[in-house]
Amino acid sequence: MCGIVGYVGKRNSQEILIEGLKKLEYRGYDSAGVAVYTNEGLQIKKSKGRLAVLESKLGEAPLAGHIGIGHTRWATHGKPSDVNSHPHTDNSSKFSVVHNGIIENYIALKEELIEQGHVFVSETDTEVISHLIASVYEGDIVKAVQKAVTRMRGAFALGVLTEYEPEKLVAVRLSSPLIIGVGEGENFIGSDIPAILEYTRNVYILNDGEMALLTKDGVTLMTLEGNFISREIFRVDWDIVTAEKAGFDHFMLKEIYDQPKAYRDTMGARIDESGSKVVMPEVRMTEQQIRNIRNVHIIACGTAYHAGLVGKSVIEKLARIPVETDVASEYRYRSPIITPETLVIVVSQSGETADTLAALREAKKNGARVVAVTNVVGSSVAREADDVIVTWAGPEIAVASTKAYTSQLIAFYLFGLYLGQTLGTIEPSYVSEVLAEMQQLPEKVEQILSQTGAIKEIAERIVAHKNLFFIGRGLDYAVALEGSLKLKEISYIHSEAYAAGELKHGTLALIEDDIPVIALATQEDLFEKTVSNIKEVKARGAQVIGLNIEGETELAKVADEVFSIPHTHQLLAPALSVIPLQLLSYYASLALGHDVDKPRNLAKSVTVE
């Protein structure tokens, strides 16, 4: 979940490294550093804090050279500090390494290297890599990296330089994303495409167990065993502007406003011209394979897990197949019952989430078919799954996910309808009805976005409280969980979400005078029961902010304040009801003066367990 960038060519590498790291700072921002080969040899500058701190240092004492590596860090081993920042070197300072991921056996390697006389200065696992490469170097940096990698266990993406071979940059990937940018007389590495898109649209996407040797004149791809690889260049067809704020104050706000387009793009060609049928050519299961599905496991982390909870209800209702939802970090360790009749759906915005990848591999090992829902073409889950449903949300930069989450909802609606129409568990008229409503969602999101003033006022009131609760039933409960997560991750207000029917089983003890309770009541068949739960918290002094469907009038009689979303099919309500909750979180964070796009202690892409 850190950011890597590297350059070799004719230009000043420092400038390219810094600009690339700016595009990746959302991946890690507690420290940053660069290593550049200069006339004085391999020179390193790094510092704790945001990238601006490093940029200031380099402004005072720039590093001039045509090859370099850079890194922006999210701490895993060792607290944020200058010495723990990347790049790391060996004792001779002749080798330099940047690293994403975790080296699981670093302690054993470190002890072995200390016995050989190596002296370590940081708390990181990464420093071990630079010492290990130095210890096996015999004049060929590629072979030295290959030897070192065979000793390492864990997940890693590496960029490696040595003063002994100053025209070469080595890149390695194992379970952590890394791409190669191909230019004219210059080449690049990056942990994500935005880092290099300003300079080239031609990329190689490294697979697990692959490495690359870059010089200014070319790129050589090979396996970690040294076997050469031939691969076509992937052409990036989206614009760098989509990764910028486009006039909004924050990426998160821009991405909230991007959602109507993301809905349209994700639906795209997956609805036939008549509007009465879902078409999903990317799902290559035959009708018989679909009929053979006996159960579905949905596996994801965080926000993607909350999308999976909606997906569970959608698939069970439409396809009548039992569905389990699992937090990916727990899935492997509970010995799940997986058979060839199990369909596993993994959900990951980045497609690189370590726990989700591990669960995917566990499922495949046990014979299950895997469908991936991801926002990144060419990501690990996309390559390793049997079928891939890409969510066309576009790049999402803010740490708190918004448009990636709602695009995942759209993907689940489409997939649920696809399963249902294939199995005959829903009538064609029902499919047409839901699809017609789905195609109106973008316009209805725009209606909600026109009412941000009312949500901003609510947000500015709730920030006076240290605790807050969300309640809901059915699909509303799934959305309440996501609303609560958004609020706490960017405003730092303690927030919890509960199934409204569970209040009497302990939660009511936490309700006291004036505590805000946000009550979702968009599900018609559960509305009366939800109202009863609202009365329970009102009787104990809570201030209730209700969220209902436009045209419903009863909620206003029991809640202190009501915000209404446009009328839609009950099944699709989460795609609308989450929008005001996203805005609520945004404005609460803003009112408290926090960094909306980069909340403390969090990173965008969680590529370690």
Site of tokens 């596993």: 344
Going by C-alpha positions, the residue among 608, 327, 595 that lies closest to residue 481 is 327
Beta bridge partners of 498: 471
Quote the tokens at residue 577: 């009801």
Distance, in Å, from the CA atom of 3 to the CA atom of 67, rounded to the nearest integer, reads 17
Categorize the per-residue pLDDT at 608 as very low, low, confident or very high, splitting at 50, 70 and 90: low
Instruction: Write down the pLDDT at residue 177.
Output: 84
Mean pLDDT on 85-108: 93
The number of angstroms, rounded, from the C-alpha of 312 to the middle of its chain's C-alpha atoms is 20
Predicted confidence (pLDDT) per residue in 105-140, tens digit: 999 999 999 999 999 999 999 999 999 999 999 999
Question: Are 279 and 272 contacting, i.e. CB atoms less than 8 angstroms apart?
Answer: yes
Report the share of the chain in percent with pLDDT over 90.
79
Q: How far is CA 294 from the centre of its chain?
A: 30
| Nearest Cα to Cα of residue 376 among 193, 232, 235, 200 | 193
Name the 3-class secondary structure at 55: helix
Q: What is the pLDDT of residue 67?
A: 98
The reported pLDDT for the residue numbered 73 is 87
Name the token pair of 605. 């892409």
Residue 21 CA neighbour count, 13 Å, CB half: 34
Does residue 178 contact residue 195 with C-beta atoms inside 8 Å? no
Per residue in 590-602, is it b (16+ CB within 10 Å) or e — as a string? bbeeeebbbbeee
pLDDT band at 605 (very low <50, low <70, confident <90, very high): low
Rounded mean pLDDT, 535-541: 89
Nearest of 387, 331, 386 to residue 358 by alpha carbon: 331
Q: What is the mean pLDDT of residues 586-607?
A: 86
Among all residues, which ones are annotated catalytic? 2, 604
Strand partners, 37: 42
Output Rg (C-alpha) for the chain, integer angstroms: 25
Backbone angles phi, psi at 374, to 5 degrees: -145, 160
* Sheet order of strands, 369-374 included: 323-327, 295-300, 342-348, 369-374, 387-390
Looking at 394-474, list the stretches that DSSP marks H as alpha helix, in order from N- to C-terminal side: 403-423, 428-438, 441-449, 452-462
Q: Tell whether the model's pLDDT for residue 29 goes beyond 90.
A: no
Which of left, alpha, beta for 327 (phi over 0: left; psi -120 to 50: alpha)? beta
**Amino acid 607: pLDDT:** 56
For 240-368, strand residue ranges (E) read 295-300, 323-327, 342-348
pLDDT value of position 241: 61
Q: Would strands 3-8 and 187-190 be described as parallel, antiparallel, or unpaired?
A: antiparallel
Does the pLDDT value for residue 27 go beyond 80? no
Domains and CATH numbers, the chain: 3-237 (3.60.20.10), 251-439 (3.40.50.10490), 452-591 (3.40.50.10490)
